[in-house]
Amino acid sequence: MKRESKTKLIRELDGLFSKYDSFYVLDFQGLTVAQATRLRKAIRQMGGVFKVVKNRLALRALRRELPAEVQAFFQKPTALAFPDGDVIALAKFLKEFSAQNKVLYVKGGVVQGRAFPPERFDEVCRLSSRSELLAKIAYLISSPLVNLLRTMQAPLSQFGSMLNQLKTKK
């Protein structure tokens, strides 16, 4: 690989690292071309980026403020998955893809600037996604209002049914 192309790749990776505050480091050894294509397409549909990288170039592009433990993830064949938006949804997808195909392994990653080892990936997958959290917040906000509305409507509906019963009696 020529120096100009390496410099271009480093700049591209640096742009990705600065744009996304979360990424997953993956070992894709044994992944077939068809599986890799499916994986790329699915991640792209989620709005993310899947990139196979050279370890040395990725380490050069990696921001300096990240912990040293992240640098240890860059060994053997390495790919990076950058989520755009929902970090947890991509983690759940990667876990599901890994379980189905038995070839993808998560070496670790960074979620919102905090590094995590591969052992903690399952914990990340168990977290609620952004959409689930927003739905829970909406329910918690609307629940007291709905209960208040029902309480206020109860006397009126009872009064109306009482008038209706009086009307039918006479």
pLDDT tens, position by position, 3-14: 888 888 888 888
Q: Give the CA angle between residues 96, 102, 108 to the nearest 5°.
A: 70
Q: What is the pTM of this model?
A: 0.74
pLDDT at 56: 85
Q: In what order do the strands lie in the sheet with 49-53?
A: 49-53, 78-82, 23-27, 105-111, 114-116
Please identify every stretch of the chain with a pLDDT value under 50, giving residue numbers as ranges: none
pLDDT at 41: 93
Angular region, 13: left φ>0, alpha ψ -120 to 50, beta rest: alpha
